[in-house]
Amino acid sequence: MTDSPEPDAADSREAVPEAEAGDETETAAEGDADETDPEGDAESGDEAAPAARSEATDELWQEVGVEPVKVALPGGQVGFTLRGYRPASQLTPTEAPPAEEDDADPFAERERVRAAEDAALAAELVAQADPDAPELTEEEPASEDFQDQEDESGEPAEPEDEEVPIFLSHRGRLLLFATPESLVSFIGSDAPHDLTQLDTWATVTKQVRAADVVPTDQDTYGLDLVVENLRGGHDAWDLPLLIGAGELARDVGWALRLEPVITALAAGSPLDDLDEALRATDAGGMGGLFARRRLRRIGAQQASLGWRTVIGKISAAVDWRD
């Protein structure tokens, strides 16, 4: 009884090449048609495109309050990591990296020089106007009554417990992995890192698989393209690329305590002014029109120099774990 299926199976396997041989001419013609058919090319491109994240994966990342992040750095390096946001009171800050001798920010240094020149000029003008006037001195600090802001109850106002970023990092180093598989292997180990303090971390280690490490477009950053894009001039500036780079750099700078990055992107800095103008331009409307004019006044060379410094500091703080 077991012998009867074998001839059928053999006949079935032999029938396939016979059918293919018989349709050889027709198949070749179809292949030629596909090569010239634009719709066929479009279908092929769709098949090659990466699959979208599943609904179950979205729910998993939402549950644990963490998201996979993909970062491209200069030199062709692309890596995956994890990022979350939590109230500052719930986190123990990462160990700050040792200070470097070359941490001087070119923008901050320029502002210090300009401030010193302005102070010297002001002192000179005062001396010329009134030779007997006392020399200018630094302003005295405000009294403690004004330094300690109080609410209506008379108690000092406490700072708001804002949500702050936290990465898969350790001792001031951002951990990056070349593949989702290597990232998942790491988080399943006992290796120390900053995300272990999250109350949802046990769920991450138990449920996250390599197939879940699919960053969204909003969590994908091309830092390798920023400087070149800025050098291309105002008309070539890629707004989503540059805005996203600013978001990631601020998060990394704060989470890793990278003082040069924090200073370069601080409120009122040239790169912060650039970021605000980019966001307003991207938003459109009348505000976007005025912001585009502001962008025209921002030097492309100055912007690319500042961003090259920022990206260099972030790249130096990366720890590749593959």
Alpha helices in 65-169 (DSSP H): 106-129, 144-147
Is residue 226's pLDDT more than 80? yes
pLDDT band with cut points at 50, 70 and 90 for residue 180: very high
| Per-residue pLDDT tens digits for 160-179 | 679 999 999 999 999 999 99
Residue 27 lies in a domain: no
Pairing of strands 66-73, 220-222: parallel
Residue 127 lies in a domain: no
- 269 Cβ neighbours under 8 A, 6+ residues apart: 107, 108, 263
Residue 268 lies in a domain: yes
Residue 251 lies in a domain: yes
Is residue 16's pLDDT more than 60? no
Tokens encoding 286: 């009348």
The residues facing 222 across adjacent strands are: 72
Q: E strands of the chain, at which residues?
A: 66-73, 77-87, 163-167, 169-170, 173-176, 220-222, 318-320
Residue 294 lies in a domain: yes
| Per-residue pLDDT tens digits for 34-81 | 444 444 444 433 444 455 889 999 999 999 999 999 999 999 999 999
Q: How confident is the model at residue 131, as a pLDDT?
A: 56
Cα dihedral 124, 126, 127, 128, rounded to 10, equals: 90
pLDDT band with cut points at 50, 70 and 90 for residue 287: low
Give the H or E element holding residue 300.
helix 300-316
- Our count of domains for the chain comes to 1
Mean pLDDT of 190-203: 95
Q: How confident is the model at residue 245, as a pLDDT?
A: 96
Residue 258 lies in a domain: yes
Tokens encoding 235: 């008309």
Residue 20 lies in a domain: no
Residue 240 lies in a domain: yes
The residues facing 84 across adjacent strands are: 66, 166
Is residue 235's pLDDT more than 90? no
Q: DSSP string spanning 235-282?
A: GG--HHHHHHHHHHHHHHHHHHT-HHHHHHTSTTSHHHHHHHHHHHHH
Structural domain for 184, as ranges: 57-102+162-320
3-state secondary structure of 285: helix
